[in-house]
Structure 1
Amino acid sequence: MQFHPSRSLHFPWFRGSAAILAVVLWALVPLLVAQADELPPLRLSALALLAGALGTLPMAYRRRPGAGLTRTQGGLVYLGVPLLVAGAVGACSAAFTLAPAGEAALILYTWPVLLLLTSRWLTTGRLPSSTLLGAGLAFSGAALLVAPQALTGGASGAWGGYLLAAVAALCWALYSLACQVSAWRLGERMPHLLLIASVVTGIASLILEGTIALPSAETLLITAALGLGPYGLAMLAWDRAMGDPQAHRVGHLAHTVPVLATLFLVLAGVATPDWRLPVAALLVVTGSMMASR
């Protein structure tokens, strides 16, 4: 993100450390959402996005929100991007409510593969065989988790969670694609974008979820941590890491997110140890690495 860097921020170790920080914070999302189950998904998303907007505000450049954009670009940036963020965060929270967190997390974190497929198709107009094979491996990892549900033909609620996790993955991939449009400078506009996304999600929450009692202080703290960490600091750190000329190497760290997310869930007792989880995580990571070659 575009915050004022000191001279030390240009050292290579800083960019690598920033990428690791972002990856660890993103891997905590399923666990934090599971711990804040007192709040309905959309209300949780609205509050987390609000915390992220407030947390990133001190690190953004002070300039007029629409500066440097045409009217069409402004509409895409300040309407389309917040809708993608709201869809990604809201669908993610709902997915962890309806489906087992470990399984939904692995489906969600196939988004780097979706981003790779989309960006390569837009750039070259074709998809190499290695990319298709890697994507197939990654998606087979997600399919391994869903297969038992398909064979038994039950668990409609879990199926809804799986579908929402896939929607969140698609939204994150499209958001990441928008981040590659350098003229939009999404990094320095992040507080405004997160705030708009928070308002959109909050309105949807009032319409669909109604009003609820004030949650406990513990739940509010978890929600603030979710917003300040994965939806605030992590996005700033990742943008800083992607500023490296060798960003494609640092970017491979994103493929470890599903493994870490699964590990955190198992260690916290939220997910039950199952042979399918590590195998699926291995398929997702291997496929992602192969597709990104």
Structure 2
Amino acid sequence: MTSRGSATLVGLSAIAMWSLLGLMAAAAGAVPPFLMNALAFGISGVGATLALALTGRLSALRQPLKVWIFGTAGLFGFHFFYFTSLQHAPKVEANLVNYAWPLLIVLFSGLLPGERLRWHHVAGAGLGLAGAALIVTGGRGLAVDPAHAWGYGAAVASALIWSSYSVLSRRLGAVPTAAVAGFCLATAVLSGLCHLALEETRWPDGPTAWTALVGLGLFPVGLAFFAWDVGVKRGNIQVLGAASYLSPLFSTVFLILAGFGRFTPAIVVAAAMITGGALLASKDVLLKPRAAPEPA
């Protein structure tokens, strides 16, 4: 059985991998989002399923229908509404609304048995959200236009779906993490259908773009979801929620280092806010008193 601390570290590795999502997606070129989703989840789903077959664990995919619906709705539903929000609302505002999901994870975690929601969890996640807002907006104001209500609604739906999926996964702790392979396959199929219905096909252009797409399928859209499953089921979910705001921060830094942007004072301030929020939410873990030594 994975310890709570170890599971939290595994969950944090998912956040690190998601930080590479923006860079790899940019390197993959102008591939339509649902096609990119279908290809990346196809790579992760097929790869994970082959690994299960080689290790004699294919039985992990034999789950009740409600588990399949739950897992597929979490992975595909989040991406469907996220992509929809970007198509029907300004990207800056839609991204910011979507980034409410880490804060929602922290708030919803208080409803779980055995979890206690404290002020510093909420304050840390709130500080992280403020930092994420600074990154997404660049310190500029927001222009919320009622004409884009459908897009904003889709962004809210994406945030609610992912936060609910993450928190409710704790209630399905008996479902093995290996079952995520099936959720990836189902998400790939549904994304492919959405691509055929909604998008014009445009394949990755050249070896670099294909390499980036394979990297997406292996890590941010692959291994990360398995690591996240371990983290939210057995780790400190409040810490994971607040620390999730490190993902847009690191993603921005990686894009800048790769030449897709530049450093600004807003990014430095946002880094301090997000890091401070993550540390504040982790106060219980970082300041946990050591057990007294056994008397001789």
TM-score (norm 2): 0.71
User: What is the aligned residue count?
Assistant: 272
> Whole-Å Cα distance in 2 between the matches of residues 237 and 280 of structure 1?
26
Counterpart of 1:189 in 2: which secondary structure? helix
Matched, 1:47 2:56: no
Q: 1:222 aligns with which of 212, 224, 244?
A: 212
1:176 counterpart letter in structure 2: S
For each residue in 1:152-181, what CA deviation from the matched residue of structure 2 results, as whole angstroms up to 9, or x when unmatched? Answer: x78x99x99887666544333222123212
Q: 1:231 aligns with which of 221, 239, 250?
A: 221
Cα distance change on mapping 1:170 and 1:270 into 2, 3 Å: farther
How big is the shift at 1:291?
A: 4.0
1:45 counterpart letter in structure 2: N
> Whole-Å Cα distance in 1 between the matches of residues 100 and 256 of structure 2?
19
> Whole-Å Cα distance in 1 between the matches of residues 4 and 278 of structure 2?
24
For residues 1-293 of structure 1, what are the structure 2 equivalents within 5 Å? 18=10, 21-60=13-52, 61-63=57-59, 65-67=61-63, 69=64, 74-75=65-66, 77-91=67-81, 99=91, 111-123=101-113, 128-144=118-134, 145-146=136-137, 148-150=140-142, 167-183=157-173, 185=175, 187-210=177-200, 212-218=201-207, 219-239=209-229, 251=240, 254=244, 256-291=246-281, 293=284
Asked whether the 8 Å contact 1:266–1:273 carries over to 2, the reply is yes
> Whole-Å Cα distance in 1 between the matches of residues 251 and 34 of structure 2?
21
Of the structure 1 ranges 33-42 and 189-198, higher mean CA displacement relative to structure 2 is found in 33-42
> Whole-Å Cα distance in 2 between the matches of residues 180 and 56 of structure 1?
22
> Whole-Å Cα distance in 1 between the matches of residues 5 and 251 of structure 2?
24
Q: Which runs of 5+ in 1 are unaligned?
A: 3-9
How big is the shift at 1:40?
A: 0.9
Asked whether the 8 Å contact 1:49–1:198 carries over to 2, the reply is yes
Name 2:291's counterpart in structure 1.
Answer: none
> Whole-Å Cα distance in 1 between the matches of residues 249 and 62 of structure 2?
39
Cα distance change on mapping 1:214 and 1:65 into 2, 3 Å: same
Cα distance change on mapping 1:51 and 1:162 into 2, 3 Å: farther
Counterpart of 1:270 in 2: which secondary structure? coil
Q: Which runs of 5+ in 2 are unaligned?
A: 285-296
> Whole-Å Cα distance in 2 between the matches of residues 64 and 19 of structure 1?
21
How big is the shift at 1:116?
A: 1.3
Of the structure 1 ranges 142-151 and 224-233, higher mean CA displacement relative to structure 2 is found in 142-151
> Whole-Å Cα distance in 2 between the matches of residues 21 and 45 of structure 1?
21
1:216 counterpart letter in structure 2: D
